[in-house]
Chain A
Amino acid sequence: MKTSGLANTGKRISLLVCLSAWAVLHVNPAFAMDGQELFSHFKANRLEYEGNGKLQLFKWDIQHWIGNDTHKLWLKTEGDYAGDQGIFGRADLQLLYSRAVTTYWDFQIGARKAFEPERTFDAVIGFQGLAPYFFEVDGAMFITDNGNVLGRLDLEYELLLTQRLILQPRLELNVAASDINNRGVKSGIAEFEVGARLRYEIAREFAPYLGFDYVEEQSLLQHQHSIRFVVGMRVWY
């Protein structure tokens, strides 16, 4: 218990350091030519609504980076909010340092704070980039304070039906190396999501979409699968 308390303090400090660095970078204007110049990229990849019988879910998947070609601070948040019940089903925030290691790949390291369903705190090591054949990849390993290991892999692809009507198949895989009792996580594939979004880019930065996901979830308590239809929008600046 004592060691985990210390570890938590350490994590809180590192979170604070990361947050303040992010704030400083954000207010500091671009200061030099080429590689030194800072850019800031906010991207709400998915802001969507899922109506499923009585269930009214609002889901988000947002990323924001600030940095130059090589070094970036990267925020990621994902979660859902049940409008009918007024509760968050899932909500987490990742704060990562991202470094370009090859032409197409960034290595990322940082922390993830989950607020729902449990308050947890994990270390994150991941990679993000563009694989051959234009697959966008976001993969990460999460290490809990008890040393358990979880993994997540996100794959996206884009099919242009026209220059502005774009079909985006996606796949998300969540795995666990072992059972984690306090989180109800069963080892193996915890979640498997495959689906597609059909968006129309009114502007590059603004595209409403329709979509669906086939979801298979497995926990220590239950195993279920479902098809979910969503409507949403993709926004970035």
Chain B
Amino acid sequence: MLSSIHVQLTLGKFALFIAGFFFLVAPMAKAGSYHLIIAKHAINLVGDRQKAILANGVLPAPTLHWYEGEHVTLRVTNSMDNPTSLHWHGILLPYEMDGVPGISFSGIAPGETFTYRFQVKQSGTYWYHGHSGTQEQLGLYGALVIDPADGNHAADRDLVIVLSDWPEADPDRTLARLKKQSDYYNFQKRTVIDFFTDIKKLGFWETLSDRLDWGEMRMDPTDLSDVTGATYHFLINGHPPDKNWTAVFKTGQKLRLRFINASAMTYFDVRIPGLKMRIIAADGIPVEPVDVGEFRMAVAETYDALVEPEANKAYSIFAEAMDRSGYARATLTSDSRLKADLPVLRPRTLLTMADMGIAHDKHNSHNQMNMEQSAAPDQHQEHETEHTAPEHTHEHMMHQQHENQAIESHDVLSYEQLKSASPGPLFRNADREITLRLTGNMYRYSWSFDDIKYSDAEPLRVHLGEHIRFNYVNETMMNHPIHLHGLWQYLDNGNGSHNPKKHVINVKPGSRVSVDVMADAPGEWAFHCHLLYHMDTGMFRKLIVEKAGS
């Protein structure tokens, strides 16, 4: 993978890069020592030389292999002229090692080296990324693979699949554009032509009333993603679709695909046509195996999927952006000469009034938000499929219909299906219940919790050892991946003591999701929506876990 990354280096940086590289490939003991050097690079990913912020000169950052129980020492050197940081996403550790500037530490100043030290208390698939400004958007992310203490391996071979979104424009410029015109990147809006097509399909009054309903709310059913394929190129392991990252497997090998969604803003619908995927872990934690044809990845989630490809075949790993404005792809093949079929992008879906938390009976309660929906119904069930597909050949259309049938046969992973493989605590009465409304103003492009932005908010304070029940009530029309640092969120999906613990919980538009949290790690923790521009505009809180008496 290293050789295929186009990296431009100055001589000085090159020396650092080589040094960093050897630290990484050096044999790792149970007390591992790692050195990462963060620097600015010019890379050419999509036909233009662009600025990137990389660890050890590679995109994605090097995969770090740890062992459960290992005492890791991570030296992180900042060779840029502005501050940086690295956050170990989903990792339980002392809060001073969590890597969030302004909360866990003061950041890594230019020229300085910060040493992270902690013992690894878990196993599975996680990741790490910059937590300073928009640096993670510019390439500062990589995989963490932690082997369990019992050395149990579910597969013959591990493959890390890092999904990400690479922007054409500078991230600060992207945010400025969204502030000035929040639908700047949406080129899939409904047009006058769609209006007439819908009249033919639904009749005049129904079409008109649909347009009026959305107009009354000043919202747009095509507003699935704030930043889209209009500026993003979607990557797998740092490769855009035309570079087609490829892994060659040996016949009969069972593969464990460790999917990590390291995007700044993009949800992906992932599938491998022709291959059943057995989901065995979510957010690093083993779950009871579920066979699926497709799963949706919220930003910052990880999923482990077991696949058993057949001999003499090539498969496409196909990850469509949720709004269908583009895709990432890679190839699994038994023979590098074999080519896999590249699926066509399916048509985009529309948000519905149900997504807005509004009952389908429009005359009933127009503005009254109905928040008592289940945690996470099958994503595709509640969306109307828009039938104005891009132009396809007849064959493709048939193919597509076939695929849509697959989706309708509950082949898509839903949150209800996630059951922790080993039982956890059975939560009963919480010591404290906190309802957080997920709020935003699409017109001004600002995001918040309870209508209060981070800069105006007091920290949330809880006591060490308390059991807290968080209710997330999404009052917006966007999905929000809610990430809590340092503490697990047990998703209440009706599986009792087998409710899965996660570091990121997706909360769909207009829905309500509850999670249980044991405040078992003292300190100050970041708590935020993991969509980069939502976090940056204020959808963020500090959670302080106080020791008794402090």
Across the interface, do B456 and A130 meet the contact criterion of CB distance under 8 Å? Answer: no
Across the interface, do A132 and B453 meet the contact criterion of CB distance under 8 Å? Answer: no
Q: Which residues from A are CB-within-8-Å of B443?
A: 103-104, 130
Across the interface, do B218 and A104 meet the contact criterion of CB distance under 8 Å? Answer: yes
Across the interface, do B456 and A35 meet the contact criterion of CB distance under 8 Å? Answer: yes
Across the interface, do B191 and A163 meet the contact criterion of CB distance under 8 Å? Answer: yes
Q: How far is the CA of A159 from the CA of B190 in the complex (A)?
A: 10
Known: A34-B537, A39-B176, A130-B218. A69 touches B184 (CB 8 A): no
B192 within 8 A of A: yes
1/0 contact string of A12-46 vs chain B (CB within 8 Å): 00000000000000000000111110010101000
Across the interface, do A159 and B446 meet the contact criterion of CB distance under 8 Å? Answer: no
Across the interface, do B215 and A134 meet the contact criterion of CB distance under 8 Å? Answer: yes
A181 within 8 A of B: no
Q: How far is the CA of A33 from the CA of B441 in the complex (A)?
A: 17
CB distance from A99 to the nearest CB of B (A): 12
Known: A33-B454, A33-B536. A133 touches B444 (CB 8 A): no
Please give the number of chain B residues whose Cβ is less than 8 angstroms from any Cβ of chain A in the complex: 30
B341 within 8 A of A: no
Across the interface, do B441 and A103 meet the contact criterion of CB distance under 8 Å? Answer: yes
Q: Which residues from B are CB-within-8-Å of A162?
A: 191, 193
Known: A35-B446, A103-B441, A163-B191. A204 touches B177 (CB 8 A): yes
Across the interface, do A39 and B180 meet the contact criterion of CB distance under 8 Å? Answer: yes
Across the interface, do A236 and B538 meet the contact criterion of CB distance under 8 Å? Answer: no
Q: Which residues from B are CB-within-8-Å of A161?
A: 191-193
Instruction: Name B218's contact: one of A41, A132, A167 (CB within 8 Å).
Output: A132
B181 within 8 A of A: yes
A143 within 8 A of B: no
CB nearest to A106 among chain B residues: B444
Question: Chain A interface secondary structure, helix, strand, loop or mixed?
Answer: mixed
Known: A133-B216, A160-B190, A161-B191. A35 touches B179 (CB 8 A): no
Q: How far is the CA of A41 from the CA of B173 in the complex (A)?
A: 12
Q: How far is the CA of A39 from the CA of B180 in the complex (A)?
A: 9
A100 within 8 A of B: yes
CB distance from A129 to the nearest CB of B (A): 8
B339 within 8 A of A: no
In the complex, chain A residues 192-212 whose Cβ is within 8 Å of any chain B Cβ? 204
Known: A160-B191, A161-B193. A32 touches B179 (CB 8 A): no
CB nearest to B183 among chain A residues: A204
In the complex, chain B residues 204-227 whose Cβ is within 8 Å of any chain A Cβ? 212, 215-218
CB distance from B276 to the nearest CB of A (A): 37
Known: A161-B191, A163-B189, A163-B191. A39 touches B216 (CB 8 A): no
CB nearest to A41 among chain B residues: B180
CB distance from B428 to the nearest CB of A (A): 37
B188 within 8 A of A: yes
B381 within 8 A of A: no
B187 within 8 A of A: yes
Known: A100-B444, A134-B215, A204-B177. A163 touches B188 (CB 8 A): yes
CB distance from B118 to the nearest CB of A (A): 27
Across the interface, do A160 and B189 meet the contact criterion of CB distance under 8 Å? Answer: yes
1/0 contact string of A37-70 vs chain B (CB within 8 Å): 0010101000000000000000000000000010
Across the interface, do A34 and B454 meet the contact criterion of CB distance under 8 Å? Answer: yes
Q: Which residues from A are CB-within-8-Å of B188?
A: 163
Known: A104-B443, A204-B177. A160 touches B192 (CB 8 A): yes
B455 within 8 A of A: yes
Across the interface, do A204 and B446 meet the contact criterion of CB distance under 8 Å? Answer: no
20 interchain pairs, CB-CB under 8 A = A33-B455, A35-B453, A39-B176, A39-B179, A41-B180, A69-B446, A100-B444, A103-B443, A103-B444, A130-B443, A132-B218, A134-B215, A134-B218, A159-B192, A160-B190, A160-B192, A161-B191, A161-B193, A163-B187, A163-B189
Given contacts A34-B446, A132-B216, list 13 more A-B pairs with CB under 8 A.
A33-B454, A34-B536, A34-B537, A35-B453, A35-B455, A41-B179, A103-B443, A132-B215, A132-B218, A133-B212, A161-B193, A164-B187, A236-B180
List the 6 closest pairs (A to B, CB-CB), nearest first: A133-B215, A34-B538, A160-B191, A163-B187, A41-B180, A35-B453
